[in-house]
Structure 1
Amino acid sequence: MVRKKKEPNRVDEMLDELLADCQTPEDILGESGLLKQLSKRLIERALAGELNHHLKGEQQTELDEPPSQTPACGNSRNGYSKKTVQSDQGEMDLAIPRDRKGEFEPILVPKHQRRLAGLDEKILLLYARGLSTRDISAQLEELYGVNISASLISEVTDSVSDEVKAWQVRPLEEVYPILYLDALYVNIKVSGRVSKRAVYVVLGINREGNKELLGLWIGEAETEGAKFWLKVLTDLKNRGLKDILIACCDGLVGFPQAIETLYPKTQVQLCIVHLIRNCLRYVPWKDAKAVAADLKPIYQAATLEAAEAALDAFAAKWDALYPAISQIWIRHWENIIPIFEYPMDIRKVIYTTNAIESLNRSLRKVIKTKAVFPDEESVFKLMYLAMNNIAKRWNRPIKDWKAALSHFAILFPGRFNY
């Protein structure tokens, strides 16, 4: 079979002609390079096309009107005005076409806009990674030759505030099988003084097994009680959340009482990962691995009776050295034992808490770059942008979700339908 000779592509031919005089990367990417020249010409051609469309629309309107209402003189082109904008290729001088009536409103480069689309997104992405406004300004100048002031960057990031407020009150699904609750700690200026505050993160797992951050709340560090959690849960209920099957948290003071008020059927489960971490604070490094290994038979026991026996065995072995550990488990036993009612598939989903742990690790990397936040709004803004950046990786259900799914439908009849 004879293959047809591939016809030369006219676009490729033109690109070859343009690249013929480019000898170095600077010739393509530099301040006066080919890429910048092409971008400028393409934008100006697009603007000319916008004006043509505008003028044709006006002409058609004039033809459609009764003769008595037809203007004596139609609209037309009226030269160009110079405009300097910031772009990914640095500063760009554009020739903006004008019409005689001054009615033309460009869409690609709107009036009063000094940055091309795409640059704001880069600013927000860098801010979401924890960079300060001055760091962002320096990095944009280094990467793109764009000189943008820190105050202008602040304006770009401040534009997110309304988006954050809308996100914080958006409607929620009616049922979330699992809710994880945790806290991150930041320093915020309050009435001129630096105060430590807790940012409470509520992460939901929806019926498809996908992670969804439901909201952020700021309160006094480690001093909130039932009244605070009642407000948080009321916010969730007002946004459409009717039922929670399991709420996994780190012994938050007042939370069990608050959830009993609004979601009486919800099972509160103490986070095993946090529990182990708290226990290891009492253990020197040399014994930490052995203690963690001996705690595993407790939470991995097949039955409640086996778990109680494993706790007794742990106490017998370690109480002489670290008596506080077994007492922590005994004190929280009521909120630990619900896990033994579930099969191992659901236990893995609950007690590993990889979902909230992974999210918080990523958020901590961002907030640790800020020694002190000027106000609560700046905390919400940064964490919202950072969370959006993190959520781009949430493209599949959490591990073991399919196995847990059928168990939920059986264990919670009438409350979990899929």
Structure 2
Amino acid sequence: MTKKKKDQKSAKLAQSIIDAYQPESVEDMQEALKDVFGPMFEAMLRGELDNHLGYENQSRQEKETQNRRNGYGNKKLKTSFGELDIQVPRDRDASFEPEIIPKRSRDVSSIEGKVLSMYAKGMSQRDIASTIEDIYGFTISHDMVSDITDQILPELEEWQIRPLAKCYAFLFVDCMYVTLRENYEVKECAVYTILGYDLKGNKEILGIWLNQTESKNRWMQIFDEIKERGVEDILFISMDGVSGLENGAKAIFPGVVVQRCLVHLVRNALRYVPSKSYKEVCKDMKSFYSASSLKAAQTAFDTFQTKWVVYPGAIDVWKRNFHHVEQLFDYGSAIRKIMYTTNAVESVHSSFRKVTKKGAFPNENALLKLLYLRVKELQSKWEGGHVHNWAMVLNQLTVNDSFSKRVEKYNRY
């Protein structure tokens, strides 16, 4: 069988896809991408056959084998965009064993998965296109990479509105900034993230939200949203000191205990301390916020105030927030170890920064796609595991008068 000529428009990428197909919906785009993937896979297979035979088609070099090309066979492939027909090159002695699409293999959606995986690791669209060319020997445009990654947008939309657990033992909230570039204007975009621990000790990122800045009002809207998605109760929220956020959270979830991140308070206090005294001041601060009892914490804080009276700004930071230290001792040590800091969600943001540091994003969708793919990677790492020492945490919650009935109620689900 001779190879059929395909419409040349289907081999062109990026803008040519839109020019040729004029897609008006996601379904239209998927149909267009199916036509584009066909020539891509065929180019990969032709390259493999060239390597197998030891010479390129139409080559004038001496052929060291009696084996020759022998036309093409039809094959139907399953991709994430649906089924498509391609033509597989054959050789005369049937010794050609393709590696990219092995014989009897019909599911090649993993190729598209590799593109998504590279995108999730923070590679730019141009870098992905270059890597595909280096590995597989054919060229795709960075716009084509964008089209491939756009296939996760419906999944992202479903994830953003999915139902949540009825109760979370701990929520950690934080905000980071990423650069967007729209209409030649560069601006900062606030990324809001909530990480939750449910009553079984499972970690879950409840959502990611974008806004121009971090504000109490936006956090209130987010708390309202997660309540609409099924969250009835939260035991603890660990947060940084956004003005008014504590009262706002309690207005929506009246029984929640709001804990200021003590690590942030340490950083705030150190702004008033010269570098020569950092080490000693940090040691003395730790003596009260990690004390074994409330009385020991209060005694250590009194000593701290007397010793470091020369740094009134640092002392004032702790005076205004010492009730957040005192309330820690209402709970067991396992609970205190979790609730005293937002490090858990800051670790998530650290993972986000690894893939967003490449530069400005052209729009919010491009940013959300990348963050969502990163979330999926994190969730896969957490799957099947529990928060360290969770059994002890649950025991301490169960015997606490403020939480015992609430834990018993929601542990039934």
- Which bracket does the TM-score occupy, shorter chain normalised? 0.7 to 0.9
Give the Cα separation in 1 of the matches to 2:73 and 2:158: 36
Aligned: 1:375 with 2:363: yes
Aligned counterparts, 1:257-336, within 5 A: 257-320=247-310, 322-336=311-325
Measure, in 2, the Cα distance between the counterparts of 1:243 and 1:378: 33
Percent of residue pairs identical: 35
Provide the C-alpha distance between the structure 1 equivalents of 2:329 and 2:85, rounded to a whole number of angstroms.
63
Contact between 1:86 and 1:92, CA under 8 Å: does it hold in 2? Answer: no
| 1:175 and 1:243 in contact (8 A); partners too | yes
Q: 1:144 to 1:200 in 2, by over 3 A?
A: same
When residues 207 and 113 of structure 1 are mapped into structure 2, their CA distance, relative to the original with a 3 A threshold, is farther
Cα offset, 1:415, TM superposition: 0.9
- Structure 1 residue runs of 5 or longer lacking an equivalent are 1-82, 99-104
1:337-370: CA deviations, max 9, x gaps? 321211111111222544223222211111112x
Which residue of 208, 212, 235 corresponds with 1:216?
208
Cα pair distance change 1:179/1:112, threshold 3 Å: farther
AA matched with 1:207: L
Query: Is residue 346 from structure 1 mapped to residue 364 from structure 2 by the alignment?
Result: no
Residue type of the partner of 1:406? N
1:121-270 equivalences under 5 Å are 121-189=113-181, 192-222=184-214, 224-225=215-216, 227-270=217-260
* 1:231 Cα deviation after fit: 0.7
Superposed CA offset, 1:245-267 (max 9, x none): 00000112222122121100000
Asked if structure 2 preserves the Cα contact closer than 8 Å seen for 1:267 and 1:338, the reply is no
Instruction: Give the greater-gyration-radius structure (CA).
Output: 1
- In 1: Cα distance, 2:399 partner to 2:41 partner: 59
Judged with a 3 Å threshold, the aligned counterparts in structure 2 of structure 1 residues 290 and 84 are, in CA distance, closer, same or farther, namely: same
Q: Is 1:416–2:411 an aligned residue pair?
A: no
Deviation per residue, 1:251-304 (Å, 9 max, x gap): 122221221211000000011222223333443443322222111111112333
Judging changes above 3 Å, is the alpha-carbon distance between structure 1 residues 112 and 258 closer, same or farther for their aligned structure 2 residues? farther
Check whether the contact 2:174–2:345 (CA below 8 A) recurs between aligned residues.
yes
Alpha-carbon distance in 2 for matches of 1:277, 1:261:
28
Please report the TM-score for the alignment, with normalisation by the length of structure 2: 0.72
The answer to whether the 8 Å contact 1:84/1:92 transfers is no
Q: 1:368 to 1:332 in 2, by over 3 A?
A: same
Matches within 5 A, 1:67-106: 84-86=39-41, 95=72, 97=74
TM-score scaled by structure 1?
0.72
Deviation at 1:240, TM superposition (A): 0.5
Structure 2 counterpart of 1:110? 83
Give the superposed CA RMSD: 2.6
Worse-superposed segment, 188-197 or 209-218: 188-197
Worse overlay, 358-367 or 119-128: 358-367
CA distance in 2, matches of 1:300, 1:228: 32
Q: Is the 8 A contact 1:186 1:196 kept in 2?
A: yes
Structure 1 residues 118 and 368, CA gap change in structure 2 (3 angstroms) = same
- Corresponding letter in the other structure for 1:331: R
Do the aligned residues in 2 keep the contact of 1:229 with 1:254 (CA within 8 Å)? no
